[in-house]
């Protein structure tokens, strides 16, 4: 194992430990438990029967739509969570001086920044895997939905999480945590709205149209990935284009973080 790789893993493990010690993780745990209860309720309803206009309707017929909506919403929540966790995960070690101590050793700035990013992403991805995996398994057990689309959905979620976390960590070098967190939620919400309108076959127009066309496909990629649960649904999106844009945004965000941190003056006070 090369020195750079070994340094990365050591720093990444420490970054995960730092993330676990943060108070926000306790809030994440509570929200995750509540989300699991909500998932349990949604999947229970999806497997029931109801009477509409005097006729018994089998709700597993709409289980796919329920799964698609639940999976997409939870993915967007965890993507935003990745940004929130990354919003100060790098600047906190700039503030306390530990970044300067680490970089005084033969550790590259890129290695250090990506290790801190990995720490924040580790918590967000684990949360996403728990919530999305539980959704897929409960839908499979109660409605018979094929869990295979969920695997593609997890990959789409992971790409969005990397983009959100890397951009938030980069912005943290220039703006304060509160403003950064607000930008994360505003950005994820705006992209989700633009993607939803476009997937419905309508032109969002204006800024939302540009965001849907050129921005990271946070909602579109996940929805298209699990659209196999609703065979009759025709979404206005090209899977190949979404994959390309997801990879391009994730890669671009990582490069931007690397370039931005390379120009940070160690010892300066973080915003």
Q: What is the pLDDT of residues 128-179, one digit of tens each?
A: 998 899 888 888 887 778 888 999 999 999 999 999 999 999 999 999 989 9
Q: What phi, psi does 52 have (nearest 5°)?
A: -125, 120
The predicted pLDDT at position 167 comes to 97
Contact between 78 and 131 under an 8 Å Cβ cutoff? The reply is yes
52 pLDDT higher than 50:
no
Q: Which residue has the tokens 């127009």?
A: 205
Contact between 231 and 81 under an 8 Å Cβ cutoff? The reply is no
- Closest alpha carbon to 169 in 266, 244, 97, 259: 259
- Closest alpha carbon to 164 in 82, 259, 251, 252: 82
Task: Give the confidence band of 111 by pLDDT, cuts at 50, 70, 90.
Answer: confident
Number of Cβ atoms within 10 Å of the Cβ of 253: 21
The predicted pLDDT at position 200 comes to 81
């Amino acid at each position: 194992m090369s020195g750079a790789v070994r340094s990365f893993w050591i720093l990444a493990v420490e970054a995960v430990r730092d993330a676990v010690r943060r108070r926000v993780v306790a809030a994440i745990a509570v929200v995750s438990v509540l989300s699991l209860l909500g998932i349990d309720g949604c999947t229970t309803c999806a497997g029931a029967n109801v009477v509409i206009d005097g006729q018994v309707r089998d709700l597993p017929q709409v289980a796919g739509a329920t799964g698609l909506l639940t999976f997409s919403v939870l993915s967007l929540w965890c993507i935003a969570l990745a940004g929130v966790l990354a919003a100060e995960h790098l600047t906190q070690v700039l503030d306390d001086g530990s970044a300067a101590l680490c970089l005084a050793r033969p550790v590259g700035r890129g290695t250090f920044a990506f290790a801190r990013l990995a720490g924040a992403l580790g918590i967000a991805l684990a949360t996403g895997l728990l919530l999305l995996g539980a959704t897929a398994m409960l839908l499979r057990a109660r409605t018979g939905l094929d869990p295979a689309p969920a695997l593609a959905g997890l990959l789409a979620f992971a790409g969005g999480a990397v983009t959100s976390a890397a951009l938030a960590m980069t912005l943290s070098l220039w703006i304060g945590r509160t403003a950064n967190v607000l930008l994360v939620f505003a950005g994820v919400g705006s992209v989700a709205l633009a993607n939803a309108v476009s997937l419905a076959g309508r032109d969002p127009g204006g800024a939302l149209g540009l965001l849907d066309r050129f921005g990271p496909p946070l909602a579109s990629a996940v929805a298209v990935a699990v659209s196999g649960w609703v065979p009759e649904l025709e979404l206005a999106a090209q899977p190949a284009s979404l994959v390309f844009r997801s990879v391009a945004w994730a890669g671009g965000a990582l490069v931007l973080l690397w370039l931005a941190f390379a120009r940070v003056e160690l010892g300066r006070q973080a915003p």
